[in-house]
Amino acid sequence: MAPDRQPVLEGVLVRIRPMTEADREPLYAVASDPLVWEVHPAHDRWQRPVFDAFFDACLGSGGGLTILDRASGAVIGASRYDNWVPEADEIEIGWTYLARAYWGGRYNREIKALMLAHIHREVATATFMVGADNVRSRRAMEKVGGVLRPGTLPRITAGENKPHVVYEIRRS
C-alpha cells in the first residue's frame, strides 16, 4: 500500500497541508526572492516561468505540501514527498524552500521532524537529495540527523545534469 504523501501535520511553529492550485501565488511570493535559490542548483527558480514549471511538477507529483506559519496562517514555503521506492522501503523528502524570515533552523527542524515522524510510520528510510555544492542545505541536513551516503548522483536541475549527494534518515 502506498504511503500517505499528502497529510496534514501540525507543530508548534508550522502547519503543513496538501498543496493546491490556490497556493501558486502565495508560494511564488516566497520563491520570487532570488536569495532563496542562491546556493541551490536550480538557482533560477525565482523566475516566473521556471517557478511555474516547478510548481506544476510539484502539484502533479501527488506529494506536494504547503507550509504555513501556524501563528499567522501565512504561507511560508513548500516541501514534498516523492520517488517512493517500495522494494527499498524508502521515499524522498525534498524540494523544500522557505521564506528567508524563517531561515535559521527552528522552522526547518520542525518541518523535517513532522514529515519524518509521519512518513516513518509507513516507510523505513527517508532520503534527501542535495546539490553537492549547496552548503546551506547540507548543513541543515546534518543538523536534523541526516547521514551522508557515499558518492554523488546526477540529477537534471535547471536544465543541466548536476551532482547531488544523498542523505538518509532511517526509522529508529
Tell me the per-residue pLDDT of 96-128, one tens digit each, with 9 for 90 and over: 999 999 998 799 899 999 999 999 999 999 999
Q: What is the pLDDT of residue 158?
A: 64
Beta bridge partners of 81: 93
Helix orientation angle between 135-143 and 106-119, rounded to the nearest 10 degrees: 60
Q: In whole angstroms, what is the distance from residue 90 CA to residue 149 CA?
A: 14
Q: In whole angstroms, what is the distance from residue 152 CA to residue 129 CA?
A: 9
Containing domain of residue 114, as a range?
Answer: 9-170
Look at residue 3 and tell me if it is in a domain: no
Whether pLDDT at 144 is above 70 = yes
Q: What is the pLDDT of residue 61?
A: 94
Query: How many domains does one find in the chain?
Result: 1
Look at residue 4 and tell me if it is in a domain: no
Look at residue 1 and tell me if it is in a domain: no
Residue 115 has φ and ψ, to the nearest 5°, of -65, -40
Whether pLDDT at 14 is above 90 = yes
Determine what percent of the chain is predicted with pLDDT higher than 90. Answer: 78
Look at residue 62 and tell me if it is in a domain: yes
- The CATH number given to whatever domain includes residue 133 is 3.40.630.30
